[in-house]
Amino acid sequence: MNDNDAEHAEVAERNLRILEALLFASAEPLAPSDMAAYLGQGANAEALLAELARRYAPRGVNLVRRGDKWAFRTADDLGFLLRREQHATRPLSRPALETLSIIAYHQPTTRAEIEEVRGVSTDRNTLALLMEAGWVRMRGRRRTPGRPVTYGTTDAFLDHFGLESLGDLPGLEELKGAGLLSGRLPSTLQIPLPFDGALREDEDPLDPDDLDGGRDLEDDPGNRAD
């Protein structure tokens, strides 16, 4: 190894240590762009993260991708060791689980579209609960009469359920087996490919009142009384 190679390897190792420190210190997953400023000029954050993930693959803590972000998480095969330390939390109700599942697979979707799939009305508090948990967000407004709000999932949703991307969502039969979808759903229901990205052509950006939190879910034109 010549001097240039040795220097390059030393810089790469230093950058890997920087990424490792940033990720361990962060309570939330981080995007490569969040960490790039701490690296040397010309450093490829994505390539470095992939290398760090490779090194941590056999360890008790793994570096995993959650959407466009990265985080350290307990290895899947050791998760049972921590379950006894976890605080009991109130499980989601069946309507909330169904609503979350439909949003995940049909996003971007409106409340009316959620109700059409479920076949029953959706309580306005259900969406508020999922948004409070950080798993669902308002994306935009549909370009249809009334301009109803469209909903989608968040990176926190991916992180909580251990998904790298929406493409890792389980299939229809797995959802039914886990009790996430009820028998009320039509037998002809097909699981679509969710749309996860910028606003689609049929969506407008959220209004200023939406972004400022000044409009309650009850005021959404797409929300009908139960």
Percent of the chain with pLDDT over 70: 74
pLDDT tens sequence across 117-161: 888 888 888 999 999 989 999 999 999 999 999 999 998 888 888
As for how many domains the chain has, the answer is 2
Tokens 């200023």 -> residue: 208
Q: Give mean pLDDT, residues 95-115.
A: 89
Categorize the per-residue pLDDT at 21 as very low, low, confident or very high, splitting at 50, 70 and 90.
Answer: very high
109 and 56 in a single domain? The answer is no
CB half-sphere exposure, 65, CA atoms < 13 A:
16
Quickly state the pLDDT bin for 186 (edges 50, 70, 90): low
The mean of the pLDDT values for the chain is 80
pLDDT at 222: 46
Q: Say yes or no: 109 and 66 in one domain.
A: no
Domain assignment of residue 63, given as a range:
3-76
Q: Which residues pair with 16 in a beta bridge?
A: none
What is the structure's pLDDT at 89?
Answer: 52
Residue 179 has pLDDT above 70, yes or no: no
More confident residue, 174 or 161: 161
pLDDT tens-place string over residues 52-78: 999 999 998 899 998 889 999 888 777
The residue to which tokens 């490919």 are assigned: 193
Residue 89 lies in a domain: no
Yes or no: say if 106 and 112 are a contact pair by the CB < 8 Å rule: no
| In a shared domain, residues 52 and 134 | no
